[in-house]
Amino acid sequence: MAETKTRGTSNRGFASMDPDKQRAIASKGGSSVPPEKRPFAQNHRLAAEAGRKGGENSHGGRKPQAATTTPAPASPPAAQD
């Protein structure tokens, strides 16, 4: 039977790796991509504009409803004849 780790994760993926190995991988962060292919690192205004557009489009142009809305008051009962 396969050995299981005691960290509460499966034996797959980044989270299940040894912390030193995670650190080594994370320290390489984007080094495989040449600087000219990373426009946001060069131009912060471009990054801000892209983030703004993404935020506007994430709800289809609609503003999200507030999570805590108060219910409308109940209408009075109909008069009975």
Gap between the Cα atoms of 75 and 81, Å rounded: 18
The reported pLDDT for the residue numbered 19 is 94
Q: Is 68 helix (H, G, I), strand (E, B) or coil?
A: coil
The reported pLDDT for the residue numbered 1 is 47
Higher per-residue confidence, 6 vs 43: 43
The backbone region for 71, taken as left when phi is positive above 0, alpha when psi lies in -120 to 50, beta otherwise, is: beta
- 17 pLDDT above the threshold of 70: yes
Q: Write the pLDDT tens digit of every residue in 19-71.
A: 999 999 888 876 777 777 777 777 888 888 888 888 777 765 566 666 555 66
